[in-house]
Amino acid sequence: MPSDPHRAALLDIRHHIDLAFQLTAGFDEARFMADVRTLYAVVRCLEIISEASRRLPEALKQRHPGIAWRNIAAAGNIYRHAYQQVSPAQVWETVHAALTSLRDVVTDELRAGGSSDNA
């Protein structure tokens, strides 16, 4: 396990973004929404991304105001506690509209060392 919890969170986020992309590769929205197994797997990726985002320092989040950090964190509560409200269409939209920019930010932070509270 990496000694730096912030770097570990960034790595977790990037890994699960990549996994969500792999799981949805070759799918269109209709096929994705009909494939319960893939939907569940992608929701689990988003849940982990949400939880890992909570472990990132505020300074890092403030450097990237274009990322909806609060929404990312709040989504995890829906995935875990209000699961009946999870919309397959919203999951699809999240993967295809939000994760690329989040992955870019995470990759930039990892390249820059993005592991200290004040970095």
User: Full-prediction pTM beyond 0.85?
Assistant: yes
What are 58's two structure tokens? Answer: 């505020």
- Looking at residue 110, its amino acid is L
d(CA 101, CA 63): 14
What are 24's two structure tokens? Answer: 């949805």
pLDDT digits (tens, 9 = 90+) for 50-108: 999 999 999 999 999 999 999 999 999 999 888 888 999 999 999 999 999 999 999 99
pLDDT mean across residues, the chain: 91
- Looking at residue 94, its amino acid is T
